[in-house]
Structure 1
């Protein structure tokens, strides 16, 4: 097969190929696997750069001012990690509240929810969102962990996108064909010792071990491939995207982040150089008692220069003019651009006072809420695939569940004025159905359940009141004894005049 004929999909992290050229997708050829890995490795430098920015290893630390190095002057390097701030804020905003999943009418997903609880799915979702925010894409792998010789456990793990590829067909649906996870192995001395390459198909998990590098070939294999069957009913590797372009949340603001760090570094550098200013001698030199040039270390503190002006000789401090007000205006402008570009507000801004209402807070976070809306669409798509794979696995174990049509709700983690919400629900009672208004409450995934609980609570309150008054709650209020006597008694107030 001529691998150059495969049509690689360049945009995004998944690799799309012509299904007809893929061959047996349950046993992909070495050529297809090598092609996919080679395409993916072209993106690893971008991933490394984005991770470095999040960790604080940014371009400012590579700056070297030539004049400062020649004169021994200060060259301060100051880094404010806006990349980490943006990612941590977006991650907390998106997954700070657990993602809730409710079954469709008449369907049961309890077995799936129990399985997710055992996997600590809330922590996993937070880690997944962090990868989405940094890299613009994320991957998770469903697998079966061996607990003992007779016991296994369904597990899920986030996979580093630098060693992971999902290969899809090149149709509009981008149907998954197989996944690849490759890891470099090292010996006890830390030297490279080949790669472990794992292929996840719709039915099989196939492992290869290479002698050197990641290229698969008959001569580069260290032993025979190992293949085991899995029971997820499809490729157990799931791909997520942060947005249509698969860009990280701070990726478009990298130039602004660099500019901000340079401005702050220059401010501190100039301040320090002002303190360590050079003394310039115009038209003369220092002499000792014998009239000889004094032995002074002039390399760092003094510069001798020709005379200037009418007198010829003068002494001045060599400093650079510095307008702090203009610099502060520029710094604030760049900082505002960073927050505007990323949709993440500056929470230290005076506009975010601690006494504003929850509704006012939503208006200030409007841009961030729009960002969440985009994230929610792509997160929901991946989570639906996760639920389906878990359902396939549980059904083989005899546990019935149906996740089709399930409601997935991602609630933003923002301050909520519960008093205002409750008052709004009370004011809307009788005008808007309670099944709708109860959904206004935070972290409520099933408003109908709340309606049923309220009905039961009211019934219990009536029963408690009747018990307190000594009524026999086993009898109906329309019984004769509540009317004042037997039906055959026509005396008293019931007697006609």
Structure 2
């Protein structure tokens, strides 16, 4: 299970060795592609139960799809990416006399750029690909040759897009860090003659390679390769794996989901077979015409002989629905537990908010989401490197100076979930942090009240002035300097009261 990572031992990519690298890479990519197609079809409802065959009473063969895979994917997407992913300022957060609470606004401007390019919609597609396919891909590329009108409408000098994982892959160096070496995207189409054509684009940090050929000629070692300079200086295709194994969020419970479908289909078969039960005739010969009259009129007259009484009865044996439901419920609970999805009907034996969160599985869901966040942030940082490289390469008059100065170390990625839960507790916590001297930018980001904490901070700079540091003259009196006596100081550090000699 999981998608295979594609690696190569080549350290440099040229027009000559690229076809050979691709030829080896497509072997693993085609395997990953088949698995991705299967998982996508599974979520859409095309599941193995639809191919079910029965050896006994083939006419009663119900095929019920209980699409828990779709349920799991939708929950994971909504819980983790229900609110837009935002960037907050991480460094350079000191108060100064000249510029109080108005630090570098580059992060806020970056958020505006992302909003202008509709990053939320791209993230939604990436989230679905991550949870279904186990991996997703984003493309970041600069806008070129824009007219003045387009520059006015499109504020950001870059564009974002989600690439189809069936036709995209990244080749990594075969080193411990698995450094990205080539980003590949291709499209398959038909020409006017009805032949399949492949158009492939491969990106390295220094070059952009293009290959166009019919059928699988793109993988031929003598394929014609066109090379151009990569102006961005970074690989614009970034992979977003869901986890290190690149496994879909429901992939490890596929056998259990198939068992649930089988159980539900058998239950429906049991109901239908009970209604369409066989009729058993004892010591009587019933013709086909008589049996048709029986089905039509609902009654039949039969005669027996002495010593051999005649009888007719329905052979009906119903399925124990209670035991079947217990079995199905057990399978469903195992699916929720393994996938980290809450069960809204469960309880921890108490009615407090915290007890319900633990008993219903919300605490486990939060833990799983934080693990996914960690993997997502690594790819997002790689994407930001491409964005900052593009911002530094465009005309300086089109990009704010704050954005030019922005560094990766200045940016932190913020996920917001349940921002209205425990509202009173969060607002009180925000006040306590501010009163304790925590920088307002950090305090606003920590409490989780706002989907865009950086913009909230920028909009609240003036009202947050009162939380700046007090002047040195207003500082509390200095603490008494500890004694130079080593024994006494060690006792104080150990929590032992200081005792004067001779006391």
**TM-score higher than 0.5:** yes
Partner of 2:216: helix, strand, or coil? Answer: coil
**Other-structure match for 1:209:** 212
Whose RCO is larger (CA < 8 A, sep 6+)?
2
The superposition leaves residues 422-449 of structure 1 with CA deviations (integer Å, 9 ceiling, x where unpaired) of 3455577756857465432422635976
Pair 1:42 & 2:44 matched? no
**Other-structure match for 1:409:** 414
**Other-structure match for 1:365:** 362
Q: TM-score, normalised by structure 2?
A: 0.75
Shift in CA distance, 12/408, structure 1 to aligned 2, threshold 3 Å:
same
Q: TM-score, normalised by structure 1?
A: 0.76
Shift in CA distance, 231/263, structure 1 to aligned 2, threshold 3 Å:
same
Pair 1:170 & 2:174 matched? yes
Shift in CA distance, 429/413, structure 1 to aligned 2, threshold 3 Å:
closer
Conserved 8 A contact 1:182-1:195: yes
Partner of 1:334: helix, strand, or coil? Answer: helix
Matches within 5 A, 1:129-278: 129-145=127-143, 154-187=158-191, 191-213=194-216, 215-217=218-220, 225-278=225-278
- Structure-2 separation of matches of 1:94 and 1:414: 13
Aligned-residue offset at 1:250: 0.4
Conserved 8 A contact 2:15-2:225: no
Number of residues of Structure 1 aligned to a counterpart in Structure 2: 427
Partner of 1:105: helix, strand, or coil? Answer: coil
**Other-structure match for 2:7:** 16
Conserved 8 A contact 2:419-2:448: no
**Other-structure match for 1:388:** 385
- Structure-2 separation of matches of 1:389 and 1:431: 38
Conserved 8 A contact 1:26-1:204: no
Partner of 1:209: helix, strand, or coil? Answer: strand
Conserved 8 A contact 2:282-2:311: yes
The superposition leaves residues 376-435 of structure 1 with CA deviations (integer Å, 9 ceiling, x where unpaired) of 111101111111111111111123142321111122357613133234555777568574
**Other-structure match for 2:286:** 286
**Other-structure match for 1:82:** 68
The superposition leaves residues 466-494 of structure 1 with CA deviations (integer Å, 9 ceiling, x where unpaired) of xxxxxxxxxxxxxxxxxxxxxxxxxxxxx
Conserved 8 A contact 1:96-1:413: no
Shift in CA distance, 283/16, structure 1 to aligned 2, threshold 3 Å:
same
Consecutive unaligned residues of structure 1, counting only runs of 5 or more, are: 1-9, 288-292, 460-497
Pair 1:344 & 2:352 matched? no
- Structure-2 separation of matches of 1:263 and 1:149: 62
Consecutive unaligned residues of structure 2, counting only runs of 5 or more, are: 93-103, 152-156, 299-303, 469-503
103, 107, 117: which one aligns with 2:89: 103
- Structure-1 separation of matches of 2:336 and 2:165: 27
Based on CA coordinates, which of the two structures has the bigger radius of gyration?
A: 1
- Structure-1 separation of matches of 2:227 and 2:133: 31
The superposition leaves residues 71-108 of structure 1 with CA deviations (integer Å, 9 ceiling, x where unpaired) of x3x21111111111101100111111111211333353
